[in-house]
Structure 1
Amino acid sequence: MGHSTSGRTGERREWDGAHRRSAMKPPGRRRGRREEDAPRAESGPTAAPGHVSVGRGGVGAGGSIEGSALGENSRVANIHFHEAPAVPTAAVAWPVEIGPVPALASAFQPRRELRERVEGARADGDTVVLTQVLSGGGGVGKTQLAAACASDAVAEGYDLVVWAAATEAQQVITQYAQAAVRVGIAGGDPEADARLFLEWLATTSRRWLVVLDDVTDPAVLTSWWPASRTGSGWVLATTRLKDARMTGGGRTRIDIDVYTPDEARTFVEARLRGEGMEHLLDAQVAELASALGHLPLALSHATAYMINEELTCTAYLALFTDHCTSLEEALPESADTEGYGRQITTTLLLSLEAAQAADTTGFATTALRLVSLLDPSGHPHALWSAPPLLNCLSPEEATPAQAHKTLRLLHRYALITCDTRADPRAVRIHALTARAVREGIPEARMAALAVAAADALLEIWPDLDHFHPELAATLRANTDALTGHAADGLWGSRSHPVLRHAGNSLSRAGLVVPALAYWQRFTADCERLLGHEHLQTLAARSSLASAYADTGRVEKAVAFAEWVLADCERLAGVKHPVTLAVRNNLATSYGKAGRRAEVVGLFQRLVADCERQFGDRHPHTLTARNNLATAYREVGRIEEAIGLQRRVIADSEWRLGAGHPETLNARRNLASCYWRAGLTEEATGLLKEVNADCERLLGAEHPETLSVRNDLAHYYWRAGRGEEAGRLLEQVIADRERLMGVDHPEVLTGRGNLAVAHWETGRREEALTLLRRAVADLDRVLGSGHSDTVGARSTLARYERELPGDH
């Protein structure tokens, strides 16, 4: 079973460099109308529609309710009631609808799961409060969902449906007073009539639904929440607030998210087909919906714009993602075909003014701008304890407690989500809300905000992110988002250190394909912004060369690293730290290319130079020494390799700790030395210990862990435990294919090794098929002259001679 150099990741270490209606029957109530609950004609005075004056004690400003808006889809209307003498009322014409209920949007999505949760809460007799779990204020469809419930109530034969805009108490009082008139209990004073209406709701056995849409201040509605002591009615409220006052008192909050990906795609398809515009649909429907954050309001505006301008999904997506296009241009007010009544930016940031008014720290605006520059999917709450971010909020006064208070304020007003239970993505924002905020950041402030965020990311980045893979992934995502939004704001005479740190994190995590793409972009930025001969540009090129080697493009890596080394020696000198790092990476690439005889001399010189430049136990020196020990082993100088490897382990444990990845790698290499020396029991025992430590400390899918398992499978095979070896290799290959790609050299050599294991356990036809594939792939990826390709082809030829048949 082959055990090639390229099959052992990390031995030589590199340096970091339509809408269906549903039944809505109240529990225990039969359907149908019953007139016995209608008030008698002589039950009290009524008021003719036309004028209302707020009586003494009324809450109308100046005794008037003129100018009150009646909901998200309403216009300001002045409604007047004139007091009239008490006259017998006419019989009530049931059913009664006060509102009106907003019409459902085109291509309305029924959102059945949410409806089921509403129905479940209603069945328990609770008031249902609809709010959204994602930040961003309006646009998630809470009013539309409430309108669907109200429409169903009408269709199901409810006696009374009241729709009341609830941004102010007076709007609610007005609607209640109108309802009192319609059900025949009005006495002429609006506030008194509203209270009579609440009393009637509490005791009537008629079926009713009251919707309080867009509650902005729970305190002013404390005495205006309806109740039903007979169980015949229920209340539905919508709000942007994530406020504890919205729950309690029998109220149940149901969080409303954006559309699911399937709902968003269905909406786009139904909207365009409904207009006869099927030709605008193409393969980018899902990508378009994702770019809009699956936000119902944004999807409505976008599809209307596409219809108006006859743009395909691909064409609109290009327009929307163009940095030169503002939200107001991509989602213009003229695309508000559903009569929502506000520009998209206004809708997304509707709560900002209220949040600023309630902000006792004065940090809210700056905090929101910082959040908008980071990954919408979330960043760690610990970022807001980092001095760079606190200094950005206020150079003198900001504390972590004040920062948290500010975040919770923005959370309460639905501009962001701050939930420490979701760490490391505790602080989140909807992508469109973030874009609306960014478009309002003064250009003069952008660079300072970006640098503060980058400093904070670097501040909380763990030294050993192997132990915190989820946190590391989150920090990398936030670095990418920040880089995209800050343009060149993180560059000066050098790049911000967090940019290189993110690339090293990708490489250390073994994410070789994303790492290659990252170093290509970073190197291009260095060349563009710093120049081709800047030292950081040379270091970036060295990292790019290593990334080529990690993805199996070894010959390109060697050629690239040789070019970089020549430039480093010319521009910085042979002993400069950048030059030494490039020499280390070049020697490692030589080893991956099978040029083992050259590697020993390169590492011997490098160790001597590192000892002079950095000291005997510096991490760079330890890395070079570990790589030299590996080189000794590969050329058969086993005793020298064992002695040097033991020294590296002792120094690494002293300097880095027993659980450090470099220490674990040195122990793994020592096990390989033992095996080469014929100390099989010692080798297997040590490797089992290293495997357990790697799984515990680095994780089951870390590249170092996979390499240890690969070695262990090799040892099992050599010990005659072929079935165990095969099972372990199959697991390693599957993990590597998923994490590194199907053409990574570790995957290709692993397939060859698995073929050998199958052959030895009698699965010969399967072994031949697998080995033929491995030889073809090795020849294509590494070249016909590579040592791994030559070895695999030789093994295949021998197997084909031994197995009779047509091959």
Structure 2
Amino acid sequence: MNPERLVLVQTDNPTGFGSGYLVGPQLVLTALHVVLAEGRWAEHVQARVGHPHFGRVEQRRAQVCWPDPEQGVPAADGLDIALIWLDEPVATTGGPVLWGLPEGTGQIPYTGAGFPAFAADTGNSAQVEALRGELSAVSTSSAGWVLDCRIWPAASCDGERPWAGASGAAVFCHGRLVGVAVEDNRSMDWRRLHAAPIHEALDSPGFAELVTRKGHAGTAGVPETVTATGYAAPPGATEPRWPVIVGQVPTLATALQPRSDLREEIERARAAGGSVVLTQVLSGGGGVGKTQLAAACVTDALAQGTDIVVWAPAAEPQQVITQYARAAADLHLAGATGEDPEADARTLLAWLGTTSRRWLVVLDDVADPVTLGAWWPVSRSGTGWSLATTRLNDARLTGGGRTRVDIGIYTPEESVSYLSERLDRDDMGHLLDDQATCLAEALGHLPLGLGLAAAHMLNEALTCTEYLDLFNSRATRLADALPDTADAEGYGRHITVALLLSFDAVQEADTTKLAGPALCLAALLDPAGHPHSFWSSPPLLEYFSHYPPYDQQVTAGQIHSVLRLLHRYALITHDRRAEPRAVRIHALTARAVRESIPATGLAHLATAAADGLLHIWPEIDPQHPELAATLRTNTDALAFHTDHRLWHPVLHRAGDSLSAAGLISSATAYWQRMVTTDEGVFGADHPHLLSSRASLAICYRQGGRTDEAIELLEHVVADSERLLGGDHPDTLLSRNSLASTYLQRARTEDATALLEQLVADSERLLGPDHRTSLLARANLAGAYQQGNQADKALGLQEQAVADSERLLGALHPSTLTARNNLARLYQKAGRAEEALALQEQVLSDSEHLLGTDHPNTLLARANLADSYRQGGRIEEAITLLEQVVPDRERVLGPDHIDTVIARGSLAGTYEQAGRTEESIDLLESVVADCERLLGVDHPDLIIARYGLAGSYRQSGQTDKALDLMERVTADSTRMLGPDHPDTLATLDHITHLRQSAIDPGPEAE
């Protein structure tokens, strides 16, 4: 039975609706009483072809074509079967309908499906669609066959017949259509249906001719005998009892997932072949379930009435020939003598090419498409098809009209469903816990791995969490986590052998002898994939050129061929369309390979991999975000697989990449791990540790943890001077980072003194164009700005922008930062138009280069809003800041100082817009946040209190404003000095407030 061919028949007669089955592109079999009621033919017939659970449903108009309505109304005791004709054909999959005639005394299992669920449209509550049970061939029912139901609907509370709508449903036994459901039986509590016999219709005038002529291609007009044990050819035939099954079809695994999408893809590929057989090559690596899927296809084929199934192991041609010869003998084919297996096999192929019998040949585990080329079966009648499984990704397998269906791993949902069903089957469902998803991911969603893991969990009574700990332990080898004792499905191969089964064939085909080291390198990287360009990088080519015994220059073309060879044998996946993850390897395959790498060779391999990753790393990460993310995950994998004992510059490049992407929390966590690892591996005084601690401190600063950053950097600078010397480049870089952090903490004098000395030392030791010199000058400009030395700051910042554009390029992140700082200086200097134009360009470039959520982009947006506010464009400033505040809360967190500053800026802009109450509410929270996060001696707190005092004054709360401003003046005098411009401004503000308090103005008088 094919669900695509189910039909819901709806009419305008009193019975209203019924079921049917598509027996030809435009021909539907149904019950007569569905279209003829109370002596009146239905005038309007609609057919909905298909089932909503199995693809699309197509609506067609229809009319009765048998019995012929023009011949009048049949006798009341006539056969309750009819055929209706659709106005347009409907395309479906599968072969012709085969008819059956039940015989014997045994109970014959039947299946079918009707549409009582659709009776809900008319108020009927029935919900059962499946027809399933046993048919008694000795029935004495006047209605035909008696169908005892294993499942039946509950009687409707409103008295309606619960099977209503099932009339006309086709009934199948062993894939043969034997009757049409026509009547239920209330006396049996609805557990019995009756069916009109199809063989009587075939004996009626015109019916057989019509279905033969208008049915699906190959439809015959003679029924086959069906018994409890199977079906046989029509009387007089010399063919054997059907179905004929040759070979050992594997038993379906426990809790096997249906993989419906793959099954549908196979059916679509099969249907697309028309009258020529289509062979699907189910390719995939070890353990993805190719053979199990093929076995499931066999089960489906037999249920749909396939006559011949041949299951042939296909690793060698002789295995196929042997099974073909055996099939020829079992089919009693003329010319099959049993003396010459190859001749008998050719006899079978010739017979399969012309027979109208439905057949399926499975070639399991094809290893060599060349030697097997002469043994692919072909059906010229369109009634047969062949199915092959293979690990190969070889174009020769898709010749001759064959279509490849790629078989991959389970989906995450299928993996968890498998674990749940497998454990439940053994009444051990309690072993499934909240780590099931993580366990499935660790096993790479590989069906074989999941099967072995579940069996081992059952054997040892391990929960998912306990098993995952075992699996992830470095002390556990793959053979211990997935032992042979867990082979509950009789796979018969050790897990490592199963995963690497095709490697021997690779080595035989590998003329370069480089496939082995290439596979080992891939196994050290991220299973999710790495760039193809990695393999053509000079460090990798150099490594392969000196790999023994291949001591000559290796080309990128040769390595490409090696990758294609590994891909062809399904040990890796190589697909440049998937860049930057063009080369992938399954996690379990990679683990099996890594466990074979000698400890003495691991360091050399890992260094080569690290060299290759570093070589292809883009200079500016934000311009290639997907590539940078891929390289980071591959660096992480490489570090993990070397137990974090590999030190290489690529490790620092990966950490810097996180910061460049604006992923400050992730970068902080990364450098914390690096510091811990370096301390354990290299010791407290190693330069590697100093570098990692300096990077961690920068992340602290970027994350708003300024005091922690200063403390850590002061230690790093002292240790660098002690261990490396004051003139070492790393020492200079650490001093630059410390000075920058002093600026963030408003320790202006400390920063200025440190930077003035640093600029001189850096230019003297490294040259004026060195990156460290460039950064030092830019930071010194910031120090001058913070220290109100505007002229010095402006000249130095303009030089920094020009140098950055010349040395790094106009779109380098450092150049954007320098231009952003210059715009702020222009704003302070009263050059508003220049500042605004520069900031708008910086924001546009930042969004393009870094993305809309990068912290530097958010800073550029906030600075532009500040310029809009100062230029009187208040609403535009509010619009921008109302974007910046939630974006910073989401990206940086609500307690990051930049987030707090953005809220303060928004509050000040509300004040300018006359939204004083909103401004006060927001500024009160900003002041509290600054006191909590920064302490009482931070300049940003002074600014926040100053703004709040202004809002209090604007709202008429003069006493509050005066108290707060006096506090601001005291703090400013203490921190900045009595002659600082900001201190003088607060004193002037206090004077105005006191005058307002003494002289309230004309209204008060």
TM-score by length of 2: 0.68
Q: How does 1:94-109 map to 2 (within 5 A)?
A: 94-109=242-257
For 2:750, which of 575, 598, 602 is the aligned residue? 598
Q: Is the 8 A contact 1:89 1:184 kept in 2?
A: no
Matching residue of 1:263: 414
Evaluate the alpha carbon distance shift between residue 620 and residue 156 of structure 1 in structure 2; reply closer, same or farther with a 3 A threshold: same
Structure with greater contact order relative to length (CA < 8 Å, sep ≥ 6):
1
Q: How does 1:312-331 map to 2 (within 5 A)?
A: 312-331=463-482
Correspondence 1:556 to 2:708: yes
Q: Is the 8 A contact 1:293 1:432 kept in 2?
A: yes
For 1:499, which of 651, 655, 660 is the aligned residue? 651
Q: Name whichever of 333-342 and 148-157 sits farther off.
A: 148-157
What is the CA deviation profile of residues 634-679 of structure 1, one whole-angstrom value per residue up to 9, with x for unaligned ones? 2322222211111112222222222322222211111111111122
* Two-structure CA RMSD over aligned residues (Å): 2.8
2:387 match: secondary structure? strand
Paired with 1:474 and 1:220, the residues of 2 have a C-alpha distance of: 41
For 1:511, which of 647, 663, 669 is the aligned residue? 663
Larger proportion of strand: 2
Evaluate the alpha carbon distance shift between residue 281 and residue 591 of structure 1 in structure 2; reply closer, same or farther with a 3 A threshold: same
Paired with 1:217 and 1:772, the residues of 2 have a C-alpha distance of: 77
Q: Name whichever of 716-725 and 369-378 sits farther off.
A: 716-725
Q: Is the 8 A contact 1:26 1:231 kept in 2?
A: no
Q: How does 1:568-607 map to 2 (within 5 A)?
A: 568-607=720-759
Matching residue of 1:4: none
1:286 match: secondary structure? helix
Matching residue of 1:638: 790
1:163 match: secondary structure? strand
Correspondence 1:228 to 2:295: no
Q: Is the 8 A contact 2:245 2:309 kept in 1?
A: yes
Q: Is the 8 A contact 1:736 1:747 kept in 2?
A: yes
Q: Name whichever of 746-755 and 303-312 sits farther off.
A: 746-755
What is the CA deviation profile of residues 123-162 of structure 1, one whole-angstrom value per residue up to 9, with x for unaligned ones? 11262424356xxx21111111111111111122222222
Correspondence 1:211 to 2:367: no
Paired with 1:598 and 1:636, the residues of 2 have a C-alpha distance of: 15
Q: Name whichever of 467-476 and 758-767 sits farther off.
A: 758-767
Evaluate the alpha carbon distance shift between residue 138 and residue 733 of structure 1 in structure 2; reply closer, same or farther with a 3 A threshold: farther
Paired with 1:619 and 1:709, the residues of 2 have a C-alpha distance of: 26
For 2:325, which of 156, 163, 177 is the aligned residue? 177
For 1:478, which of 619, 634, 649 is the aligned residue? 634
Correspondence 1:531 to 2:675: no
Gap regions ≥5 residues in structure 1: 1-19, 36-87
Larger proportion of helix: 1
- The structural deviation recorded for 1:773 is 6.2
- The structural deviation recorded for 1:543 is 1.7
Matching residue of 2:588: 432
- The structural deviation recorded for 1:804 is 11
Q: Is the 8 A contact 2:540 2:608 kept in 1?
A: yes
Matching residue of 2:528: 377
Correspondence 1:144 to 2:211: no
Paired with 1:804 and 1:273, the residues of 2 have a C-alpha distance of: 72
For 1:111, which of 259, 264, 271 is the aligned residue? 259
Q: Which letter does structure 1 place at the counterpart of 2:876? A: E
Matching residue of 2:106: none
Matching residue of 1:402: 558
Q: Name whichever of 350-359 and 612-621 sits farther off.
A: 612-621
Q: Is the 8 A contact 1:202 1:228 kept in 2?
A: yes
Q: Which letter does structure 2 place at the counterpart of 1:587? A: A
Paired with 2:480 and 2:927, the residues of 1 have a C-alpha distance of: 55
Correspondence 1:611 to 2:763: yes
2:608 match: secondary structure? helix
- The structural deviation recorded for 1:214 is 1.2
Evaluate the alpha carbon distance shift between residue 600 and residue 234 of structure 1 in structure 2; reply closer, same or farther with a 3 A threshold: same
Paired with 1:748 and 1:116, the residues of 2 have a C-alpha distance of: 55
Matching residue of 1:155: 303
Gap regions ≥5 residues in structure 2: 1-51, 56-90, 103-235, 547-551, 958-1005
Q: Name whichever of 585-594 and 649-658 sits farther off.
A: 649-658
Correspondence 1:250 to 2:401: yes
- The structural deviation recorded for 1:767 is 6.6
TM-score by length of 1: 0.84
Q: Is the 8 A contact 1:100 1:163 kept in 2?
A: yes
Paired with 1:527 and 1:797, the residues of 2 have a C-alpha distance of: 50
Matching residue of 2:352: 201
- The structural deviation recorded for 1:771 is 5.9
Matching residue of 1:77: none
Matching residue of 1:469: 625
Correspondence 1:450 to 2:602: no
- The structural deviation recorded for 1:599 is 2.3
Paired with 1:112 and 1:159, the residues of 2 have a C-alpha distance of: 24
Correspondence 1:690 to 2:842: yes
Q: Name whichever of 746-755 and 337-346 sits farther off.
A: 746-755
Paired with 1:120 and 1:249, the residues of 2 have a C-alpha distance of: 18
Matching residue of 2:337: 187
Evaluate the alpha carbon distance shift between residue 533 and residue 308 of structure 1 in structure 2; reply closer, same or farther with a 3 A threshold: same
Matching residue of 2:144: none
- The structural deviation recorded for 1:221 is 1.7
Paired with 2:53 and 2:325, the residues of 1 have a C-alpha distance of: 30
Percent identical across equivalent pairs? 55
- The structural deviation recorded for 1:341 is 0.9
Evaluate the alpha carbon distance shift between residue 775 and residue 252 of structure 1 in structure 2; reply closer, same or farther with a 3 A threshold: farther
Q: Is the 8 A contact 1:26 1:233 kept in 2?
A: no
- The structural deviation recorded for 1:247 is 0.9
For 1:311, which of 448, 451, 462 is the aligned residue? 462
Matching residue of 2:5: none
Q: Which letter does structure 1 place at the counterpart of 2:825? A: C
Q: Name whichever of 226-235 and 759-768 sits farther off.
A: 759-768
Evaluate the alpha carbon distance shift between residue 272 and residue 248 of structure 1 in structure 2; reply closer, same or farther with a 3 A threshold: same
Greater Rg over alpha carbons, structure = 2
Evaluate the alpha carbon distance shift between residue 385 and residue 760 of structure 1 in structure 2; reply closer, same or farther with a 3 A threshold: same
Matching residue of 2:433: 282
Q: Name whichever of 214-223 and 560-569 sits farther off.
A: 560-569
2:795 match: secondary structure? helix
1:127 match: secondary structure? coil
Q: Which letter does structure 2 place at the counterpart of 1:284? A: Q
For 1:746, which of 898, 913, 921 is the aligned residue? 898
For 2:577, which of 396, 404, 421 is the aligned residue? 421
- The structural deviation recorded for 1:92 is 1.1
2:372 match: secondary structure? helix
1:164 match: secondary structure? strand
Q: Name whichever of 407-416 and 471-480 sits farther off.
A: 471-480
What is the CA deviation profile of residues 171-215 of structure 1, one whole-angstrom value per residue up to 9, with x for unaligned ones? 222222222222221332322222222222222222222222111
Paired with 1:610 and 1:362, the residues of 2 have a C-alpha distance of: 50
For 1:30, which of 90, 97, 108 is the aligned residue? 97
Aligned residues: 727
For 2:540, which of 374, 382, 389 is the aligned residue? 389
Correspondence 1:650 to 2:798: no
Q: Name whichever of 397-406 and 470-479 sits farther off.
A: 470-479
What is the CA deviation profile of residues 443-478 of structure 1, one whole-angstrom value per residue up to 9, with x for unaligned ones? 111111111111222222233333222222222221
Q: Is the 8 A contact 1:607 1:625 kept in 2?
A: yes
Q: Is the 8 A contact 1:538 1:564 kept in 2?
A: yes
Q: Which letter does structure 2 place at the counterpart of 1:570? A: R
Q: Is the 8 A contact 2:281 2:402 kept in 1?
A: no
Q: Is the 8 A contact 2:574 2:582 kept in 1?
A: yes
Matching residue of 1:291: 442
Paired with 2:731 and 2:601, the residues of 1 have a C-alpha distance of: 38
Q: How does 1:766-805 map to 2 (within 5 A)?
A: 780-783=932-935, 786-789=938-941, 791-792=943-944, 795=947
